[in-house]
Structure formats: structure tokens, C-alpha cells
Amino acid sequence: MYGKGLIKGLGVTFIRYWNTYWDDITWFVGRKGKKYYSPEGIAHRSSKNARGIFTVQYPEEKLPVPEEFRYVPFLVFEEGPDGEKNIRCTSCGICAKVCPPQCIWIVRTSDPATGRPVPAPAEFTIDADICMNCGFCAEFCPFDAIKMDHDYEISSEKRNVHNKQMLMKPLSYYAEIRPLNYAKEEAARAEKAAAKAAKADA
Ligand code: SF4
Ligand code: SF4
């Protein structure tokens, strides 16, 4: 029948249109709270229960991002007992090699006395305007030293070139934004340490 697809399409549009108002009415009548500008409203609109068409009132409202959301990477550091920042990166350069648009630059630290390389970056730079958020650097890093961030609010009037100081974030921040990944990595780390200890005892 001619026009069948057209009628079907219009039906979908009408259902969306109807659901938009019906959802607003049920929230209003059911007194579930505010559908906009409230944590309950955001939780509802970002869930599978959301119906119809709605907008997010950004920047006042922000939809929570899933754990695997990827934005510009950051460098993980562990805090020492005296508050020192022990960066995990050994400046091995693997991330810079695998980065498809080649937007990572690393300068390795050298021992001032001997001139020999020290496994830590003196400088670490990522051009965030070129980074395509692919996650290869985090995927290939053998030391869990570089991770993909959730912070997507980095727009500025200048070039977004992030230096080492800007890139460094504590391990606790990583655990907060990626709890499942963090738990998995810590479990693997503990298992490896136990196996090493058992081997040493044998
Ligand atoms: S972030 Fe990881 S892969 Fe990149 S240089 Fe540091 S240790 Fe190597
Ligand atoms: S996320 Fe991809 S593009 Fe961005 S720095 Fe890492 S490897 Fe390069």
C-alpha cells in the first residue's frame, strides 16, 4: 500500500509527542518532584524509563556519564605518606608510539650527576585539541599510569595543550570515576604480588 511507511513514521512521531506531555503530566500529578533541575529528574531522564522528548538544561544540569566514557587522558599519581606525588608513569613512551594522531610528547628525566635516564617523565604533554579520545594510550600503558578522564568541560579561548602538572590526578580520583576498572586492576595487582611472595617463599 502506498504511504504505509509515511503513516508508520507519523505514528512514531505522534507517540513521541504524546509521551513527552504524558511523562510531564505523570511527574506533575504523581508529585515525584521536579523533572528538571533535580537529581531525581536527571536520574529518570537518563534511565531506560525516560519517555518522549526532553532536553538537558546544560550547564545547570549534566547527565551522568557511564564508567567507560572517555575524554582526554590524565596521569595517575599515588600519594606518599608525606603527601608526595608518586607518578606511575615511567616515561617508557609506549603511549606516545601508539597514539594515532601523535599528540603525546614525553621528555624523560635524566640523572643530573650521571646523565643516565630515570624512569619518570620530566615533561609530559598532550595536545587535547588533537586527542581523539580513542583510549589507546590507556589501553597499552603497561603501568596503569594513564587513564581516560570523564571531565569533558575543557573548552577555552586558547589551545588546550595540557602539561604534566595539568595532567596529574590522584589514584583516588581514578577510583572514584572508574570504580569497577579500579577494583579489577587492584585485584590483579594483589594476585600478582601474592604469587610473587609465594614464589619467593618456595
Ligand atoms: S603513560 Fe604509561 S605508556 Fe605512557 S610513557 Fe607513561 S608508563 Fe609509558
Ligand atoms: S586518547 Fe588516543 S588520541 Fe588521545 S592521547 Fe590517548 S592515544 Fe592519543
- pLDDT digit string, tens, across residues 154-190: 999 999 999 999 999 999 999 999 999 999 999 999 9
- pLDDT score at 55: 87
- Max intra-chain CA distance, the chain: 85
Residue 179 near residue 67, CB atoms below 8 Å = yes
Residue that wins the pLDDT comparison between 26 and 99: 99
What is the CA(131)–ligand 2 centre distance, in A?
Answer: 5
Which helix (H) or strand (E) segment holds residue 122: the answer is strand 117-127
**3-state SS string over 15-62?**
HHHHHHHHHHHHHHHCCCCCCCCCHHHHHHHCCCCCCCCCCCCCCCCC
Q: Three-state DSSP class for 109?
A: strand
User: Quick one: which ligand is closest to 104's CA?
Assistant: 2
CA distance 111 to 113: 5
Residue nearest to atom 5 of ligand 2 (CA): 131
What are 22-64's pLDDT values in tens digits? Answer: 988 888 887 667 888 888 889 888 888 888 888 888 999 998 9
DSSP conformational letter for 157 = S
What predicted TM-score, i.e. pTM, was given to this entire model? 0.85
CA dist 165 and 157 (Å) reads 20
- Quote the pLDDT of residue 102: 98
Q: Which whole-number Å values give the CA distances from 26 to 20, 31, 41, in the listed order?
A: 10, 8, 12
Q: What is the CA radius of gyration of the chain?
A: 24
Cα 145 from Cα 128, distance rounded (Å): 18
Count CA within 13 A, CB hemisphere, residue 18: 6
For the chain, give percent helix, strand, coil, nearest 5: 40, 20, 45
pLDDT of residue 171: 97
Q: Are 35 and 41 in contact (CB under 8 A)?
A: yes
Phi, psi of 106 (to 5 degrees): -130, 135
What residue ranges line ligand 1, CB within 6 angstroms?
Answer: 89-95, 106, 141, 143, 145-146
Per-residue pLDDT tens over the stretch 111-159: 999 999 999 999 999 999 999 999 999 999 999 999 999 999 999 999 9
Residue 186 CA, ligand 1 centroid: distance in Å? 18
**Interacting residues of 136 by C-beta distance below 8 A, sequence separation 6+:** 95, 98, 99, 100
